[in-house]
Amino acid sequence: MKPTIETRLRVRYAETDQMGVVYYANYLVWMEVGRVELCKTRGFNYRDMERDDGVLLAVAEACCRYRSPARFDDEVIVKTWIEEANPRMATFAYEMRLAEGDRTLATGHTRHIFVNREMRRARLPEKYHAMFGLPSGPR
């Protein structure tokens, strides 16, 4: 299995819908939380990459498969890893589980294209290659 990080969060009341379960779009927010934490554990701050290097990760695709509901005050574990990467794009994968009982809530992925501040396709600067699991040096 690829290197994975775990982020824990607790479901807030505002994240639930009229049925008392987590509203589906919140899983995408939790994926973002996991992705940002993964970047930090890999040694860089996503905000700094945007500010200092002008490289942004534009979402090109998002997918989430819902398996079981989460409810208010449940503790959720978001497992995040880089499924695939190259100098032009990266795919992050996610698994969201209930901490109590380890039940799978949802799985998914997001595919991101590296772009510049003008939203034109860009290449990932070499200084980030190792952090995305890419080889350094000329290709």
| 17 classed as catalytic | yes
Confidence bin at 103 (pLDDT 50/70/90) = very high
Confidence bin at 137 (pLDDT 50/70/90) = low
List 17, 48, 52, 73, catalytic entry:
17
Query: pLDDT, tens digit, for every residue of 54-87?
Result: 999 999 999 999 999 999 999 999 999 999 999 9
Distance CA 105, CA 77 (A): 10
- Average pLDDT value for residue range 32-57: 94
Percentage of residues of the chain with pLDDT beyond 70: 97
Q: How many CB atoms lie within 10 A of CB 57?
A: 20
Task: At 28, list the tokens.
Answer: 């995408």
Distance CA 14, CA 58 (A): 27
Confidence bin at 139 (pLDDT 50/70/90) = low
Distance CA 30, CA 133 (A): 23
5-130 — its CATH code? Answer: 3.10.129.10
